[in-house]
Amino acid sequence: MAGERILIAVLCLLLPQIAEAACQPPHYKIDGAEATDEATGLVWRRCGLGMTWQAGKGCTGKLLQFSQDSAAKEIAALGEGWRMPKVSELYTLVDNGCGVPTIDTSVFPDVVVKPEGAPYWTSTKVGATDLIVEVDFSDGSYDGHSKGIPLPVRPVKGP
């Protein structure tokens, strides 16, 4: 009983610090429309396809959804090394400390959770199936979907 009280007291002291640190990843270097993850070297577009970054306003336009094949074509049209992220890359953006959505919306302000969640495409196939992995920022989960389902995309470039 005494040990339990001590644990509760320690947690009560730490929780405000944990909550204050939540969703404030210090590892992004922001440069207008791009956010560089200094831990991975990946450069992310702060706005999903269909939206553009405007200083002082954030992401403007409409977040578009694409089938897997059309998303790949749209990203290729961006040039400059942009590509669809692998699941291991996109999942680095998941931050459960942020609550809902599970991504830092001060860095990536276009993520909106809808009744169907906030899933984004990756380029990762599910085994030998015809399914592709998506990362859902509504709860930090991932799942496989068929290529034809329209989902938003967050382009990335880098290593």
pLDDT in tens, 29-71: 999 999 999 999 999 999 999 999 999 899 999 999 999 999 9
* Contact criterion met (CB below 8 Å) for 85 and 45: no
Residue 23 has pLDDT above 80, yes or no: no
Can you tell me the distance from the alpha carbon of 14 to that of 108, in angstroms, rounded to the nearest whole number?
Answer: 28
Residue-level pLDDT at 91? 95
Q: What is the CATH number of domain 2-157?
A: 3.10.100
